[in-house]
Structure 1
């Protein structure tokens, strides 16, 4: 489209649209050493994730961690890799989520909206996707990080990367970032329905709600993540109509030597087994899509910890992924933020 009364050589301006951009953590391009090293370097160099001074952290990261960890992480990714599409399950699921959200958004708003997804680390990068959306005419963008609970190391760094990408734009679109959705009734309903479906309506002796961990220090420094995780667990218990004590909130994926949020999932499930609770279910309410932390860590390391301690029955309840109820939650969050734009 050329503006009215513009000279003949005026650059073409695409018809204005509103963009909806969902973002997840990211994934390596492959499970080989160099793909893993590039991904881990970007992830572990993020000061939102590891906030140690660079002079202290980078020599350790570059000299030791990135020499060894790509091999072990690559082996874990290989166990869950989507060989048919040659990508990680997180990539497959996030693409499917974007496609489902795009279909629902177009039902509601037609061609006035454009729905895309990006990754904080790896590809498709936030900058590349934002640039493509701007070139397609998105003058306004609703940005939804796919983290139900807010944390500096997840939601905030996703926003940071979006803002950095905006700095490269000559004509910046208006942007609205979405609040976390950890206590939305529709999200809690979707979680509860996934529990009831997986357990076929039965009540377990224990449901372990395992959230991604973070250093305990972050809580004392003002990060609300721990409190929001606790509230999600409480609301889930209330929605299911269960009594106190059935749902335990725990934290996984501990890294480094400092103390992280407790209890640690891998230790807690073993303690349950030794205490005679030999049948449990595990759910991961902090993850919007199944990934290495759920498919390999929970169904691998954490399951093994439980079984080695005497546990018999271990049920992993999948993430909400592209379940229609989850897509409706995303659409409702967008609705709350897109008002006046379409």
Structure 2
């Protein structure tokens, strides 16, 4: 794709290829989304996701036959139905895609106000489209000699941040002129992020007639084995809850940490959200609120799993009031926190 601002370098011979004006790229990355809710769209997406050894680290000879012959023959139907229940029919895309686009538009607007055309902001998905490779290529074609890669996960996990970085590095391997690169580290302890999270809770509570008995911070789970092997995710989730509690000025009994989305036979990080909300209801906490601090945007795990499956578990155990507090999404305070993280990590480049 020709670049309209490309020019031949000064003092270069006439046949030298034209080069675009040097820029800095900021590439935001989220998990991904299927292209549709039909069987084959879901199968392609799930195959890419579940074949990632950062996500499922069993030996390929053991895992792939099970995945290809059993799991991918059935799961696309159930996952497709779950996605269909939350699908953005107007734009024919998942809510994650819609929200990520809105986030990127606001981040791009803020960066343009700060740096003009010198910084180019775009986004990619680890699984599905737009792919990381295609977006790295597009940034290079626009003249980005430096790229800041920003996985949109507040807490680090091998199955999220690391695999997103892996894909970014793989894309760089294919570039003839490889741009300088940096990755944004976890930002769960960044004060502006905690402030945005706390404000979302305060606003939600202010709109309720009766305050919840407890706030459940539900994080996406990982096998407990990953923690024992050195993954810091569990510790960073616990610290996120603690920082949020301190910012809100609450006591220990007003907030708790749980983990959702368990998959497979292994023991995962506990307590499991779906079980813990039932226990809370049975113990007399009939009014709860749930927030998902590990997700930067609402997606299948929040809109379908929390708002349907986990809500149902709570209500069946005698719970009376269940409130889901949405992710920060494209809230202005969240965008400001993301821009702050970007600015910090662009230091020395701009």
TM-score bracket for this pair, using the shorter chain length: over 0.9
How many matched pairs? Answer: 342
Q: Deviations over 1:196-233 (max 9, x none)?
A: 11111775311000000000000000000000000000
1:123 and 2:132 matched: no
User: 1:105 maps to what in 2?
Assistant: 111
User: 1:152 maps to what in 2?
Assistant: 158
Matches within 5 A, 1:1-342: 1-200=7-206, 203-342=211-350
Q: Which secondary structure state, in structure 2, belongs to the residue aligned with residue 245 of structure 1?
A: helix
Give distance in 2, aligned partners of 1:341 and 1:17.
10
Which is further off, 115-124 or 3-12?
3-12
Give distance in 2, aligned partners of 1:265 and 1:199.
21
Give distance in 2, aligned partners of 1:234 and 1:101.
28
Give distance in 2, aligned partners of 1:119 and 1:338.
22
Superposed CA RMSD: 0.8
Q: Which secondary structure state, in structure 1, belongs to the residue aligned with residue 218 of structure 2?
A: strand
Query: Given the superposition, is the C-alpha separation of residues 201 and 243 from structure 1 closer, same or farther in structure 2, using an over 3 Å criterion?
Result: farther
Give distance in 1, aligned partners of 2:214 and 2:68.
41
Give distance in 2, aligned partners of 1:310 and 1:118.
42
Give distance in 2, aligned partners of 1:119 and 1:107.
26
Which is further off, 2-11 or 212-221?
2-11
Give distance in 2, aligned partners of 1:153 and 1:266.
21
Q: Which secondary structure state, in structure 1, belongs to the residue aligned with residue 108 of structure 2?
A: helix
State the TM-score, normalizing by the size of structure 1.
0.99
Give distance in 2, aligned partners of 1:332 and 1:143.
14
Give distance in 1, aligned partners of 2:183 and 2:253.
36
Q: Deviations over 1:218-274 (max 9, x none)?
A: 000000000000000001001001111211100000000010000000000001111
Q: Which secondary structure state, in structure 2, belongs to the residue aligned with residue 266 of structure 1?
A: helix
Give distance in 2, aligned partners of 1:182 and 1:239.
13
Give distance in 2, aligned partners of 1:310 and 1:204.
15
Gaps of 5+ in 2: 1-6
Q: Which secondary structure state, in structure 2, belongs to the residue aligned with residue 120 of structure 1?
A: strand
Q: Which secondary structure state, in structure 1, belongs to the residue aligned with residue 153 of structure 2?
A: coil
Q: Which secondary structure state, in structure 1, belongs to the residue aligned with residue 252 of structure 2?
A: coil
State the TM-score, normalizing by the size of structure 2.
0.97
Give distance in 2, aligned partners of 1:267 and 1:314.
15
Give distance in 1, aligned partners of 2:45 and 2:21.
36
User: 2:4 maps to what in 1?
Assistant: none
Give distance in 2, aligned partners of 1:163 and 1:106.
26
Gaps of 5+ in 1: none
